[in-house]
Structure 1
Amino acid sequence: MSKKVRVEHLTKIFGRRTQQALEQVKAGKSKQEILKETGATVGVHDVSFDVNEGEVFVIMGLSGSGKSTLVRMINRLIEPTSGSVYIDDEDVAKMSKEDLREVRRTKANMVFQNFGLFPQRTILQNTEYGLEVRGVSKEERRKKAEAALDNSGLLSVKDQYPNQLSGGMQQRVGLARALANDPEVLLMDEAFSALDPLIRRDMQDDLMDLQERVQKTIIFITHDLNEALRIGDRIALMRDGEVMQIGTGEEILTHPANDFVREFTEDIDRSKVLTAENIMEPALTINAEADGPNVALQRMRKEEISMLLAVDRKRYLKGSLTAENALDARKNEKPLEDVLDKNVQKVEKDTLVTDIFNIIQNSAAPLAVVDEEDRVVGVVVRGSVIGAMTDTDTGQADEKETAEGNTDETTESADKEEVNANA
């Protein structure tokens, strides 16, 4: 996957004694120490990261964390004190004003929190504006603007004015205007923060749907962790101008880099972020095409279980096999295929835990977890789901899973005894 944007050791210091403050930054002094000694404020401190082409990369943090300063340095709305920003291997920080203007017009467009629409222009005219500034012909810019509005579901209101639209629709226009320029990178600074919660969620859905169609590289700024987890492929979490951790939502929740990240994420509902892949266990299987009931019973006895998943040679799911059915197959000399339960429920490995709960609560058996090609990669048991939904501490989740497992063992003890006696 190619790197679309590279940020290397980016630093921004506000104030007069920037050189002295920069030296102190390099010496490892804190933001507070530098402010006290120089009067200068460190907005961003030695930040580095890459953004992949087509990725939604979220930069998040509380007010004053430096996230908005950081995104504005990417297109040099704010001049960096030191460091580099590369878009397609071109250093934005060293560009001439003319080259920078061209980058802002064609490569990296920005969507702001306050929409930035012209009240005297129609929705179509607002959407055409960036193309108009670039000198695109009237016919061509109208065609591109209408296509962008159509993509955003706004073509029917193209002749209306901003004050005739709701806040959510105005923000859609702002997004459509940016997309009309067909930018390679879209910078979104708290783009949905001014919207009501329900409208904000709709805009998040719209952005994700739009991204599926247009596949832009998006750098999205937010202070809302739930929003970051919902739309971001990866997240950079900032504090006091520094990046605390970069990773997927799952990585940040399951492996916080430090106490700050752990505390920041402790109230998040993990069931809406963690997936089957995070909580699954190795699948104990039998090859239904090659193995017989004796092999199945022996494996059950060794593993002290009373059920196996049956797969073919390529690990495609064929069904489940209980100890009772394996004993029946051996007694009556039946092939395993004849005694399999074909109604095994399965989930894809990226299925959210909250969705798995609705499935597994009505299932007596574990769920099979399959990959993109529908091959078995693991199983999910009820205890793992309950642990993921109720605990923020891994150790507690493990204890609950063990307790749940002991309960399952009790209900299956009769089957185990029969297997051990007859296998």
Structure 2
Amino acid sequence: MSEIKVEGLTKIFGKRPKQGLKLLDEGKTKDEILEETGLTVGVNKADFEVDQGEIFVIMGLSGSGKSTLVRLLNRLIEPTGGKVWLNDEDLAAMDDKQLREVRRKKMGMVFQKFGLFPFRTILDNVVYGLEVQGISEEDRMQKAQNALELVGLKGYENQYPDQLSGGMQQRVGLARALANDPPILLMDEAFSALDPLIRKDMQDELLDLQTKMQKTIIFITHDLDEALRIGDRITIMKDGAIVQVGTPEEILTNPANDYVERFVEDVDRSKVYTVKNIMVRPETVNLEKDGPRVALQRMRDADISSIYVTNKNRELEGICHAAEVSAAVKEDAKDLRPLLHTEVPTVDEETPVHDVFDMVSTSNVPIAVVDENNRLRGIVIRSKVLAALSGKEVNLDA
């Protein structure tokens, strides 16, 4: 279900912006409009929807229009044209009072610059927005304490900003936005000012928080690795226009044009693809009805040296090897149980391909992919892992 819907959203900076709109309608480019009129196209007819509870990343190089776009979503910048719908409410039609309510209760914002008051304690910084709303002292203190605990800063309430690291200060900014418990978070280059290691920690923190909060998050970044790491879907912008919207896998494997292709050419695909994109259907036997002869025949037909064994519910029981099964057939054995090896390597579908490198390089059998109920979903073989690195043979419909 869409929580935000954007239709033809446009921002043109300069005098007589409507003239710029007319030129955009005529197909003029950003550079042509600037040369002809002196007007700057900040955002050019953006169309997209953001689903409830997803992390929607907007990315692009400096000057691409991404920060302008996020400020159009809460009308910190007034649009020149187009619509922004928030749960079927038209933000453009709202008066100042309604807009303030949206910013206070429905949309929180976290900026690249932490914007903390240096002479207020951490607790007082988080409380500030609630003070402005006139919320009672008891309620705002409780909300602020809860937000600080959520971001891992319990115990730091009485510290001051200059006593905290950059990453901790950014957590304070996040806590301040969360204190109102808004359903939507806008994060503009929120981690860009942090050192690389702290930045990665904050990305992990955000993903962990999202499992608890299930907010709708619009995250602005110029860093493709960051976008691929945290985004459920990604929008790539160039010259104020949206070039492509897609999942990380779609962006990597099906770039919309040469610009996107150049963007992604140096990405480590193994950190983006998950096991579900490379797993294959396994050959199996049923422990409760199949014996050694059936198992051996299936291994011969599939030209494999081992076979996974499941029960009638398709729950993984273990694996059998051809040499042992062949010996059992010669002895006229009827039961697979004595041949079953129950210690097998397993992963789930969401495991990054990068994380199975060591497993496939050291394991003598394919890696079993199981769900939360231990049902066998597929297997990972070494050749598929290698193919994923080259961007080939990736199943996006898995």
Report the TM range for the smaller structure's normalisation.
over 0.9
Alpha-carbon deviations, 1:362-411, whole Å to 9, x = none?
1011111123432222211112223334x3x528x9xxxxxxxxxxxxxx
2:57 is aligned with what amino acid? Answer: V
Q: Distance in 1 between matches of 2:262 and 2:141?
A: 49
Residue 377 (1) aligns with residue 377 (2): yes
1:234 is aligned with what amino acid? Answer: R
The 3 A distance-change label for structure 1 pair 371 and 258 is farther
2:188 is aligned with what amino acid? Answer: D
Q: Distance in 1 between matches of 2:213 and 2:169?
A: 20
Q: Distance in 1 between matches of 2:97 and 2:150?
A: 31
Secondary structure of the residue aligned to 1:62 is: coil
User: Which residues in structure 2 correspond to 1:41-120 (within 5 Å)?
Assistant: 41-120=40-119
> What does residue 319 of structure 1 align with?
318
Q: Which runs of 5+ in 2 are unaligned?
A: none
> What does residue 151 of structure 2 align with?
152
Q: Distance in 1 between matches of 2:212 and 2:283?
A: 39
Q: Distance in 2 between matches of 1:343 and 1:368?
A: 11
Q: Which runs of 5+ in 1 are unaligned?
A: 398-423
Question: Which protein is richer in helix relative to its size?
Answer: 1
Q: Distance in 2 between matches of 1:166 and 1:327?
A: 63
Matched-pair contact (CA < 8 Å) for 1:237–1:245: yes
Deviates more, 1:266-275 or 1:325-334: 325-334
Q: Distance in 2 between matches of 1:298 and 1:28?
A: 65
Q: Distance in 2 between matches of 1:185 and 1:204?
A: 18
- Share of identical aligned residues, percent? 59
Matched-pair contact (CA < 8 Å) for 1:11–1:82: yes
Q: 2:392 aligns with which of 381, 391, 394?
A: 394
Deviates more, 1:21-30 or 1:38-47: 21-30
Deviates more, 1:182-191 or 1:372-381: 372-381
Q: Distance in 2 between matches of 1:342 and 1:91?
A: 58
State the TM-score, normalizing by the size of structure 2: 0.94
State the TM-score, normalizing by the size of structure 1: 0.88
> What does residue 347 of structure 1 align with?
347
Alpha-carbon deviations, 1:81-105, whole Å to 9, x = none?
1111111211112211110011011
Q: Distance in 2 between matches of 1:289 and 1:159?
A: 63
Q: Distance in 1 between matches of 2:230 and 2:14?
A: 35
RMSD: 1.9
Secondary structure of the residue aligned to 1:178 is: helix
Secondary structure of the residue aligned to 2:155 is: helix
Alpha-carbon deviations, 1:108-160, whole Å to 9, x = none?
01111111111222211111111111110112111211111122222322122
User: Which residues in structure 2 correspond to 1:384-423 (within 5 Å)?
Assistant: 384-389=384-389, 391=390, 393-394=391-392
- Offset of residue 54 of structure 1: 1.7
Q: Distance in 2 between matches of 1:146 and 1:298?
A: 64
Matched-pair contact (CA < 8 Å) for 1:17–1:39: no
Alpha-carbon deviations, 1:228-279, whole Å to 9, x = none?
1222221111111122222221221122222221211111111111111111
Query: Which gives a bigger RCO, structure 1 or 2 (Cα 8 Å, sep 6+)?
Result: 2
Q: Distance in 1 between matches of 2:303 and 2:199?
A: 50
How many residue pairs are counted as aligned between the two chains? 394
> What does residue 361 of structure 1 align with?
361
